[in-house]
A and B are shown apart, each in its own frame.
Chain A
Amino acid sequence: MLFNSIEFLVFLPVCFIIYWFVLKNFLKAQNAFILIASYFFYGWWDYRFLALIAFSTVVDYFIGLTIDESNSKSRKKALLVISLVVNLGLLGFFKYYNFFVDSWVDAFESLGVEMHRTTLSIILPVGISFYTFQTLSYTIDVYREKLKPSRNFINFAAYVAFFPQLVAGPIERATNLLPQFSKKRVFNEEQGISGINLILWGGLFQKVVIADSCAPYVNSIFDNYESMNSLSLILGAVYFAFQIYCDFAGYSNIAIGTARLLGFDLMRNFNYPYFSRDMAEFWRRWHISLSTWFRDYVYIPLGGSRGSKWMQLRNVFIIFMVSGLWHGANWTFLFWGGFLHALFFVPILLLNKNRSNLDQVAQERLLPSLKELLQITVTFLLACVAWVFFRAHSITEAFKYLNKIVADFNFKIEYLNIERYSVEMLLILLIFILIEWFHRNQEHPFTGRWKWFKIAGTLIMLLTLGVYSKHQDFIYFQF
């Protein structure tokens, strides 16, 4: 079920009413209801893959308990390894099997060795990367004794399958989300209102107005990049930057908002990443739940920023490579993360500047300084260059795309095959950037004295600029 679908528009109020009016004083029943609703939500897409979530849940539930009860360190370790093998094995099979087979065969064929290609028709279960990481965080935290294992199977199963964030995050840590299932929940009006605001802003405005409006321009430019001029190609990269940001941040905001309606607090996943002054700041603001997951479960265990510069660089490249691979089974993602973003990080790390921009840009000022503006622009352009690799079908195609920007050097406004001028989206994006800039210290813009005007303005834009006829799936579903 998609958040921006009619089905969800019915599903959510029904859940809300049953949850708060029928099951109000019954915590166990509320949790069981969340579990049923979550399985229903996921099964709406493909019920066959429910077995996969259920299997993952059962395995990690019992492994968590056994780790806790075990006195032997080696036994605990063995159990953790089993959990890792099972979870990553499932993820690897569904997500990476064909990729590795193809890459293996291609590598041998390039050496002149003929090999039989045995790829399978595998459907990637929606959200597998997200809930796998969520369950992994549970077993690792239990192993590290940071978390007591759940002794309530319903609570644990509801935590793994919690429908607001099941298919595209935020990837919640067990330490944050799981205890919330054990506490009695009382409806908090402020929390509910902020949830609604997040759904309106993130889900509807960011997704339906910005991301879905950018989509046809991006598709048209990237699909015909060979015949496009420099201006269109630059715009294509910029549009994609906003498409993927608003698509994913929009999803996350609906997830957080929906969870709040049910009395849960999820972590923030995006914090105005395109106002970052360097790449380190960008990664502290982009897909925060994944970045911090990798930081805590990969980067720090590898040594983090301790050790020699060489070790630090190695760790950075490893974490970005894993992050790239997490996004998809394609060399373009590996290049995007494992090479480009890691490369952008190198000078920051060498100059010890990776924690120099921890505050919000232009704090207590209306406008950024010239230096800040320059830093923001450079960071955004670097991100756009990397996004070209993320969006392209192959690394070669991405290089050709970037090469054409420089080689063509033609900045005439083009009429695209979608019967739109290439620059038409810029005005909407400018409005969006201004809204974000003036509310960069808040979760969403619906605050202050003019709150209702802002809501009305958003609703007007939603209605008149939103895309309804060419429904777009959330990009991060494929990951």
Chain B
Amino acid sequence: MSRFSKYILWMLLILGIIVLAADQIYDYIFLNTSPRDKVQLAIKQKQGHVDYLFLGNSRVENYIDCSIIEKTTGKTCENFGMSGTSYQDSYVLLNLLKENGLTYSHLFIQLDATVKNETMTRSFKASLVPFIDSNIQVKDVKLKLSWSEKNIPFYKYAKYDYLYGMRACFAQLYKNKSDDVNLGSFRNMK
């Protein structure tokens, strides 16, 4: 049994090293490259002052055209609407923006009884995945992470592999332009 045991141990050792290395590499890439979605933008980019700030789901993202607002009012406008988000997601996003220095004169949050959802959506939670281990503090945010998500290396990426897998990692690394960080929004209608 000794050879077999050694074989298993070697395999587990290699797996352990790969898991740790992959976790570090993924973390590094997601934390140190240009933002590819609005959550990353809120966390990574130092925020300034904005006159009109819009939050909500795809209805905000797709139908609020900041360029028209800016042109009409002469004030600054940012559209942080994200497809499929809930109230809770908007609340977290607002906190992230504020923590990162954003100030605003007017805040518009979409309230929609038909899509009322007071828990964080899976996709939004997934977008916070790369930052779980980082020093970026998300104050007052209850992510409700499982023990495995917090403590097992790479588990968070495996769990949300469809959004934060190898493909996203490559896209992040090669700075593919993403419409998701277009704060003018109105993108799908153009």
Q: Which residues of A contact B (CB under 8 A)?
A: 20, 187, 189, 192-193, 196, 200, 420, 424, 452, 455-456, 459-460, 463-470
A449–B71 CA distance with the chains assembled, in angstroms = 68
Residues of B within 8 A of A20 (CB): 1
A467–B22 CA distance with the chains assembled, in angstroms = 16
In the complex, the answer to whether A463 meets B8 with C-beta atoms within 8 Å is no
- For the complex formed, measure the closest distance between the CB of B12 and the CB atoms of chain A, giving whole angstroms: 10
Partner of B159, one of A189, A192, A200, A468: A468
- For the complex formed, measure the closest distance between the CB of B25 and the CB atoms of chain A, giving whole angstroms: 9
In the complex, the answer to whether B3 meets A189 with C-beta atoms within 8 Å is yes
Write the B157-190 contact mask toward A (1 if CB under 8 angstroms, else 0): 0111110011101000000000000000000000
Write the B1-29 contact mask toward A (1 if CB under 8 angstroms, else 0): 10110011011001100110010000000
User: What is the predominant secondary structure among interface residues of chain A facing chain B?
Assistant: helix
Candidate in A187, A192, A424 with the most chain B CB atoms within 10 angstroms: A192
A155–B121 CA distance with the chains assembled, in angstroms = 51
Question: Quick one: closest A residue to B164, CB to CB?
Answer: A469
In the complex, the answer to whether A469 meets B4 with C-beta atoms within 8 Å is no
B154 at the interface (CB under 8 A from A): yes
- For the complex formed, measure the closest distance between the CB of B166 and the CB atoms of chain A, giving whole angstroms: 4
User: What is the predominant secondary structure among interface residues of chain B facing chain A?
Assistant: helix
A467–B163 CA distance with the chains assembled, in angstroms = 11
In the complex, the answer to whether B8 meets A196 with C-beta atoms within 8 Å is yes
In the complex, the answer to whether A469 meets B159 with C-beta atoms within 8 Å is yes
Residues of A within 8 A of B4 (CB): 187, 189, 192-193, 196
Residues of A within 8 A of B158 (CB): 463, 466, 468-469
Question: Quick one: closest B residue to A20, CB to CB?
Answer: B1
Partner of A464, one of B1, B8, B11, B165: B165
Residues of A within 8 A of B22 (CB): 460, 463-464
29 pairs, A vs B, C-beta closer than 8 Å = A20-B1, A189-B1, A189-B3, A189-B4, A193-B3, A193-B4, A196-B4, A196-B7, A196-B11, A424-B167, A452-B10, A455-B11, A456-B14, A459-B11, A459-B14, A460-B18, A463-B18, A463-B19, A463-B154, A463-B158, A464-B165, A464-B169, A466-B158, A467-B162, A468-B158, A468-B159, A469-B159, A469-B160, A469-B161
Residues of B within 8 A of A196 (CB): 4, 7-8, 11
Residues of B within 8 A of A456 (CB): 14, 18
A459–B167 CA distance with the chains assembled, in angstroms = 17
- For the complex formed, measure the closest distance between the CB of A421 and the CB atoms of chain B, giving whole angstroms: 10
Residues of A within 8 A of B161 (CB): 466-469
**Which residues of B in the span 145-160 have a Cβ within 8 Å of any Cβ on A?**
154, 158-160
Given A467-B161, A469-B159, A459-B8 contact (CB < 8 Å): no
A148–B70 CA distance with the chains assembled, in angstroms = 89
A295–B22 CA distance with the chains assembled, in angstroms = 48
